[in-house]
Amino acid sequence: MGAAFPTGLIDALRTGAWLTRARMRLWSSAVLIAAVGAIGYVLATAHGLVDFQNRPLGTDFSSFYAAGTYALAGDAGAPYDAVRQHAGEQAMFGADTPFYSFLYPPLFLFVGAALALLPYMAALALWQGLSLALYLLATRALLRSGAHGSARLAEDKLWVLLALGFPAVFVNVGHGQNGLLTAALLGSALALLEARPIVAGLLFGLLAYKPQFGLMIPLALVAGGYWRTVAAAAAAVALLVLATLAAFGPEAWHAFLASTGFTRTVLLESGDVGWHKMQSVFALVRMWGGSVGLAYALQGAVSVALAGTLIWLWRSGVDFRLKAAGLCFAVLLGTPFSLDYDLTVLAPAIAFLALHGSTRGFGPYTKSALAALWMVPLLARPVAGATFIPLAVPAMLAAFMLMLRDAAARHRVPETGPGATPPLPAA
């Protein structure tokens, strides 16, 4: 006789009964304490502006700061020249400083230039503190957003611990990256979309500093008929471009466009950014030895499927929170260039699905999927390094499919009254 199948474990995963408040508090606290300890260790062992490995404190933030100094000096094209950007970083942090590329359009030079007005450590502290505050404020606003929010969840302070302990937060804090700002802008825009569509459009427009994430957002907004939001987003982008032309001149845009070839061939296709950091279908194919052409083909197929599914979802009458979560997943999965620090975008996805489940019921395996999504940024980089599997990709695809299952169930069942949505079948 073979061993009995562990039906108890399967039932626990299906119902999510194992995900108690005590466990959520324990895991959040453990990650938070470990992360604070790690950051404290890096600071304690630093010498000057570099850590014990001779990397700039804040690592990737050094590229923002160096680009900002060039912009202030009237040389806004320099950050897009790899040799000159590296020289600027070495001048600030020492000859042994690794190269940190600046990949963002000139829109983000405004951020770098503003921060470069301060001494480096003051700028790093301001950047970390402000982006973390915006992330927390956006999460709170999302939890309370209009008819889709939940005063009970917003007032339950467990969300603060879950948001702070979310491992993607410390991936960003450790690298001085902009994922917290990305999550804050996307989460706030979605939270305000129905009540204040023009403000939401302005926030979507500000996300133009991450152009690779702009593939799916316009599709969803057009499919949902949010034309004022589309117009506001387009106006915001146009004004930002005009502002960069006035502040930095056309040379900055010429240099940025010229640098995209380096970004594509060296950092993306050749994986010099680090395959273990990338969390995309493209990276998965390349890590397993697939050709560049095959990687683009499979990434393209997934992106097209996501686009079609997203259009159906946003044209349907299902709960807005499912639409919003679906867009967050599509934003990350729809681009070949998604890194582990970008997984902060999972925070609004988790929040929207938690809101939906708390009021309409959780479908089978949904609670367990949310827990996996919360944990995956902690494991994504080491698992990819050891197994060549970008763990976030299957985790997001599984959660996306579960969300679509719940959306399809809603789509089939008629409303029971004005504004009412029937609960999901019990897990």
> Which of 164-178, 217-231, 237-251, 401-415 comes out lowest in average pLDDT?
401-415
Q: Distance (Å, rounded) from C-alpha 229 to C-alpha 220?
A: 11
What's the pLDDT score for residue 75?
97
- CB count within 10 Å of CB 58 equals 26
Q: Could you give the percent of the chain with pLDDT greater than 90?
A: 88
Q: Distance (Å, rounded) from C-alpha 249 to C-alpha 263?
A: 22
Question: In Å, how far from its chain's centre is CA 38?
Answer: 22
Check the CA dihedral 200-201-206-207 and report its sign.
positive
- Greatest C-alpha distance within the chain: 77
Q: What is the CA radius of gyration of the chain?
A: 22
Q: Could you give the percent of the chain with pLDDT greater than 70?
A: 92
The pTM assigned to this predicted structure is 0.93
pLDDT of 164-176, one tens digit each? 999 999 999 999 9
First-to-last CA distance in the chain?
31
In this structure, what token pair is assigned to residue 213? 């994430």
Closest CA relative to residue 55, chosen from 64, 46, 44: 46
Q: Which pLDDT band, with edges at 50, 70 and 90, does 30 fall under?
A: very high
Q: Distance (Å, rounded) from C-alpha 249 to C-alpha 245?
A: 4
pLDDT of 137-164, one tens digit each? 999 999 987 656 556 666 678 999 999 9
Q: Give, for 382, the enclosing helix (H) or strand (E).
A: helix 366-387
The average confidence (pLDDT) of the chain is: 92
